[in-house]
Amino acid sequence: MKEPKNFTKTDTGNQWSEWYRELSVQGIENPRFFSQYENTKVFDNTGVLLGRLKDMAIRSGEAMLEVSSIVYATNILGEKVIMPMSNVGSFNGSINLNIAKEVIPPGKLSENEMLMTETILDKQIVDIDGLKVVRVNDVMLARVKGILSVIGVDVGFKGILRRLWAPSITEKLFAKLPNQIIPWSYIDPLDPELRKIHLNISRKNIQDLHPADIADILEELDNKERLLILGSLDDETAAEALGEIEPDVQDTVINNMESENVADLLENMNPDDAADILSRMPEERATEVLEKMDAEDASDVKELMEYSEKSAGGIMTNLFLSVPSGTKISDVFSIIRESCHDIDMIYYVYVLNGEEHLIGVLSIRDLLLAGSDQIIDDVMETEVLSVLPSSSTDEVANLLSKYDFLALPVVDENGVMLGIITFDDVMDYIIPGDVKKHLPKNYPKSRRMH
Amino acid sequence: MKLNILNNFNTGLSKLKMRNIALFLAVIGPGIITASVDNDAGGITTYTLAGAHFGYGLLWTLIPITIALIVAQEMCARMGVVTGKGLADLIRENFGVKATILLILGLVLANFGNTMAEFAGVAASMEIFGVSKYISVPIAALLVWLLVVKGTYSVVEKIFLMASGFYITYAISGLLSGPNWGVVATNLVVPTINDSPEYLLLLVGMVGATIAPWMQFYIQSSIVDKGIKLSDYKFTRLDVIIGCLVTDIVVFFIILTCATTIFSNGIRVDTAKDAALALFPLAGNYAASLFAFGLFNASVFAASILPLSTAYCVCEGIGWDSGLDKSFKDAPHFYTLYTLLLVVGALLILVPNAPLLIIMWISQVMNGMLLPFVLIFMLVLINNKKLMGEYVNSRLFNIVAWSTSIVMILLTAMILLMEIF
């Protein structure tokens, strides 16, 4: 993933000046803020005062958002007049039109024009880099190839100060306070319909983030925005991201979705996560969703829903790698290649007899070291440590940490294998959510991707 | 009268399908909690004095007050469900920076004073039980802080719902005081007008205590936090209506208790604490203790929600990160603001000779000055088709909402004038 240069962290102001240099290379000079244009006087070509600038209309140009019209009002409650930029003569300190007051046509917004105050100013942007939602406090404008265009947005506190009173004085008084600018080229209007949320990263890149990071972003947003982002991901990424979200947020998201889409998502989730979500739903809805799910996935999930969430059965998954006893080692490899695409934990191979009883286990390491024509029963470990579905999560955690296992098998009273519990499922129970938030900053980056 | 309505309502509810009841239980919370918190220390003092000074004379105001409360709360609940944004968010996006910042400044001032009033309530109610304020206030502040900062949303909501349940102590107090039900029923529906300035002040005070600006922000934020679906909106509406009804039934019992005991014995009281103390010989230890505990519960409850609501609102409006599910590092402004409001509010109560009355007075005035703006913003937003689509106010609802707002604004203006002159 290409890291966008982040101009929002202007601790020193250096990056800011770097971007500035870049702008002047492109022939962009003297950027100014919307707040500095706001309330400037508008005169007609004979110098008659018409009103003050209140807003600008924008439309997408070749590379940038171009300012296509200005909007001025004669007084606070006065009618707003929309004036195409073609009628605007000069733009220095005051705005002078090149037509006379008498011939001003009644302006209207065209199809592709939008008002700055309705689409950008004061709206939210999801800052994917900082994993938070920020607000646009001011808009940065400059002439690009002679056309006034939007080149960035200010999401810092200085933008608010500038909007509150005399922008030029604010600039002087708070010269030390950094501007927090996000260049417009990094901003992606996520939803042309709603016109209210933007991402400061292109959408195809959100797909490239780790699901756990997408989950962090989703937790920050409101419902409509969550659904938008989830909708823009492929099913698998969406499901993984949803699996990483705090349970109460999960429920909220799921509650607001059509059962059809919920079923699609749950099919792509680990059955144990899906079971947790379903067991928190009202019964009728859960049944409805299960009916819409793929039969095989649904039966996996149903099996797991019988167990209480705080027991071993509640956190186990029934996707594990098992082979029938008597299999040749070379055949085990082909079984893995054929059937393990959905299975996360393939470090252990569980050996089951005809009645599905767990009779042995071996690790991938043992498997690699074994001769290819040996029978699995000869190399497997027959003393298998397992837990019952009713065992407590604490007990499972203790066993996993004591023996340094990556997973533990779960068997019923008769020895029939039901599923496995992986160490990361137990982690979620041992490490409370707020500790996870305090992990070192670089932790997500250093995480092993599997 | 009210009880009958509630009984009919209950029998109506039993005819509902079990499924609907389950759905209702899932969305219940924000409406009931917000309406309950409305009966905070200041509110309870007002109702206590209304009963103690004018007996059943002010009971008739409860029905119009309940309607006004339902209208205001329902509009915010609807905006929260439809837009998925808090009220401060919407105001910032539709009215710009200047209006938002002014509103936020006013709200912070008003809520700071209100928070202090809650801690004053904690101090007063625990003094009835012989606990010094130097013990009760710091402990209450610490407990509130721990609950809100360390608790998860669902735990906090459950505890808040429990606190809402504790208001039943007032109903028990009221029943124990042995009112004359016939007279009560008449006074509930037949307005009695008394032209003394004190009567007028209490009447306006009761209305002002009912609809506070911060409640509108709080209910909308908590509905957004809970993430209620549009298709479940009918249950949220029920949540709001039940909350307002139950809350005003509590008010009814507070007035009732003080009217049957203090007023009919001709005793003069000036504070909720005096009233509770006066109840001991009149209504018995049991009723009086319940009454005092009710005040304590209400004060702690409101002290936990007010600073929280303020912090949410400021951060939403300015665009800082906010939310209890974030760490201090991610949302420093939010936590700092919340902690400051709570700690300074509690500390000032403990300062000997602090100008408490002046601060509370200013906060009441700020409340009054903010309310018209908040109501008008709400009405403009809820009638904005771009935001609300088909969920804009119907004509009838608009008539009710606008007239409620205008009456509220006029009454608040009266309070302000009375307060100032």
Shortest Cα–Cα distance, B266 to chain A (Å): 54
Reported as a pLDDT band with limits 50, 70 and 90, residue A12 is very low
What's A366's domain CATH number? 3.10.580.10
Cα-flanking dihedrals φ and ψ of residue B212, to 5°? -100, 145
Query: Which token pair is B331?
Result: 């949302």
Show the domain range for A340: 314-430
Q: Is there a domain that residue A84 lies in?
A: yes
Q: Is there a domain that residue A448 lies in?
A: no
Query: Which of A117, A132, A135 is the mutation pick for testing B, counting most B CBs within 10 A?
Result: A135
Which residue is closest to A125 within chain B, CA to CA? B319
pLDDT at A15: 53
Predicted confidence (pLDDT) at residue B7 exceeds the cutoff of 60:
no
Cα-flanking dihedrals φ and ψ of residue B73, to 5°? -70, -40
More confident residue, B128 or A92: B128
Q: Is there a domain that residue A334 lies in?
A: yes
Q: Name every chain A residue with its beta carbon within 8 A of the beta carbon of B153.
A: 248
- Are B97 and A137 in contact (CB < 8 Å)? yes
- The answer on A200 and A116 residing in a single domain is yes
Nearest-10 crossing angle of helices B213-226, B153-166: 130
Which residue is closest to A121 within chain B, CA to CA? B93
Q: Name every chain A residue with its beta carbon within 8 A of the beta carbon of B228.
A: 255
- The answer on A147 and A178 residing in a single domain is yes
Share of chain B above pLDDT 90, in %: 27
Instruction: Give the mean pLDDT of A327-341.
Output: 87
Shortest Cα–Cα distance, B229 to chain A (Å): 5
Q: Name every chain B residue with its beta carbon within 8 A of the beta carbon of A133.
A: 319, 321
Q: What is the Cα–Cα distance from B304 to B49, expressed in whole angstroms?
A: 25
Shortest Cα–Cα distance, B67 to chain A (Å): 30
pLDDT at A24: 66
Query: Which of A55, A249, A256, A258 is the mutation pick for testing B, counting most B CBs within 10 A?
Result: A256
Instruction: Give the mean pLDDT of A91-99.
Output: 82
Q: Is there a domain that residue A441 lies in?
A: no
What's A296's domain CATH number? 1.25.60.10
- Are A438 and B327 in contact (CB < 8 Å)? yes
Predicted confidence (pLDDT) at residue B356 exceeds the cutoff of 80:
no
Q: Does B332 touch chain A (CB under 8 A)?
A: no
More confident residue, A340 or A402: A402
Q: Is there a domain that residue A180 lies in?
A: yes
- The answer on A115 and A50 residing in a single domain is yes
Q: What is the Cα–Cα distance from A286 to A291, expressed in whole angstroms?
A: 9
Total domains in chain A come to 3
**Any residues with CB less than 8 A from the CB of A265 and at least 6 apart, and which?**
A230, A235, A238, A239, A242, A254, A257
Predicted confidence (pLDDT) at residue A447 exceeds the cutoff of 50:
no
Which residue is closest to A251 within chain B, CA to CA? B227
Chain B segment 349-388 residues within 8 A of A by beta carbon are none
Q: Name every chain A residue with its beta carbon within 8 A of the beta carbon of B325.
A: 219, 246, 249, 433
Residues B190-237 have pLDDT tens digits of 888 777 778 877 887 887 787 888 889 999 988 887 778 787 888 899
Q: Name every chain B residue with its beta carbon within 8 A of the beta carbon of A135.
A: 92, 318-319
Predicted confidence (pLDDT) at residue B108 exceeds the cutoff of 90:
yes
Chain B segment 146-205 residues within 8 A of A by beta carbon are 152-154
At which of A204, A234, A259 does a domain end? Answer: A204
Q: Is there a domain that residue A439 lies in?
A: no
At which of A270, A290, A306 does a domain end? Answer: A306
More confident residue, A76 or B267: B267
pLDDT at B10: 43
- Are B97 and A132 in contact (CB < 8 Å)? no
Instruction: Give the mean pLDDT of A202-223.
Output: 73
- The answer on A170 and A85 residing in a single domain is yes
Instruction: Give the mean pLDDT of B340-344.
Output: 94
- Are B327 and A437 in contact (CB < 8 Å)? yes
Which residue is closest to B224 within chain A, CA to CA? A222
Q: What is the Cα–Cα distance from B379 to B387, expressed in whole angstroms?
A: 12
pLDDT at B78: 94
* Residue with token string 């670089």: A442
- Are B318 and A124 in contact (CB < 8 Å)? no
- DSSP string across B401-414: HHHHHHHHHHHHHH
Reported as a pLDDT band with limits 50, 70 and 90, residue A198 is low
- The answer on A333 and A236 residing in a single domain is no
Mean pLDDT for all residues in chain B: 84
- Are A160 and B325 in contact (CB < 8 Å)? no
- The answer on A67 and A47 residing in a single domain is yes
- The answer on A292 and A324 residing in a single domain is no
**Any residues with CB less than 8 A from the CB of B290 and at least 6 apart, and which?**
B169, B170, B172, B173, B176
- Are B319 and A438 in contact (CB < 8 Å)? no
- The answer on A279 and A340 residing in a single domain is no
pLDDT at B14: 46
- A→B interface, C-beta within 8 Å: 117, 121-124, 132-135, 137, 155, 157, 160, 163-164, 196, 219-220, 222-225, 246, 248-249, 251-253, 255-256, 282-284, 433-434, 437-438
Nearest to A121 by CA among A110, A109, A135, A134: A135
Reported as a pLDDT band with limits 50, 70 and 90, residue B159 is confident
Q: Which of A21-30, A193-202, A330-339, B6-15 has the lowest mean pLDDT?
A: B6-15
Shortest Cα–Cα distance, B327 to chain A (Å): 7
pLDDT at A130: 58
Q: What is the Cα–Cα distance from A298 to B205, expressed in whole angstroms?
A: 59
- The answer on A157 and A36 residing in a single domain is yes
pLDDT at A432: 59
Q: What is the Cα–Cα distance from A378 to A11, expressed in whole angstroms?
A: 63
DSSP state of B61: G
- What angle is formed at CA A176 by the lines to CA A175 and CA A179, rounded to 5 degrees? 75
pLDDT at A359: 93
pLDDT at A46: 86
- The answer on A13 and A124 residing in a single domain is yes
Which residue is closest to A437 within chain B, CA to CA? B327
pLDDT at A433: 52
Share of chain A above pLDDT 70, in %: 83
* Residue with token string 């055949």: A331
- Are B97 and A434 in contact (CB < 8 Å)? no
Q: Is there a domain that residue A449 lies in?
A: no
Query: Which token pair is B374?
Result: 């908040």
**pTM higher than 0.75, yes or no?**
no
- The answer on A251 and A294 residing in a single domain is yes
The answer to whether residues B41 and B295 touch, using CB atoms and an 8 Å cutoff, is yes
Q: What is the Cα–Cα distance from B256 to B180, expressed in whole angstroms?
A: 10
Q: What is the Cα–Cα distance from A116 to A67, expressed in whole angstroms?
A: 9
The answer to whether residues A362 and A376 touch, using CB atoms and an 8 Å cutoff, is yes
- Are B232 and A255 in contact (CB < 8 Å)? yes
Q: Name every chain A residue with its beta carbon within 8 A of the beta carbon of B328.
A: none
Reported as a pLDDT band with limits 50, 70 and 90, residue A27 is low
Sign for the pseudo-dihedral over CA of A207, A213, A215, A217 = negative
- The answer on A373 and A261 residing in a single domain is no
In the Cβ-directed half-sphere of B358, how many Cα atoms lie within 13 Å? Answer: 4
Residues A112-166 have pLDDT tens digits of 888 888 888 888 887 665 566 788 899 989 888 888 888 888 888 888 888 887 7
The answer to whether residues B30 and B222 touch, using CB atoms and an 8 Å cutoff, is yes
Q: Is there a domain that residue A68 lies in?
A: yes
More confident residue, A293 or B369: A293
Q: What share of chain A is helix, strand, coil (3-state, %, to 5)?
A: 40, 25, 35
Residues A172-186 have pLDDT tens digits of 777 777 778 888 877
Q: Name every chain B residue with its beta carbon within 8 A of the beta carbon of A433.
A: 152, 325
The answer to whether residues A178 and A10 touch, using CB atoms and an 8 Å cutoff, is yes
Please report which residue ranges of B84-196 form alpha helices under DSSP H.
87-128, 133-150, 153-166, 168-176, 181-189
**Any residues with CB less than 8 A from the CB of B128 and at least 6 apart, and which?**
B273, B276, B277, B292
Nearest-by-Cβ selection for A282 from B26, B85, B154: B26
Query: Which token pair is A63?
Result: 């590379």
Nearest-by-Cβ selection for B229 from A164, A220, A256: A256
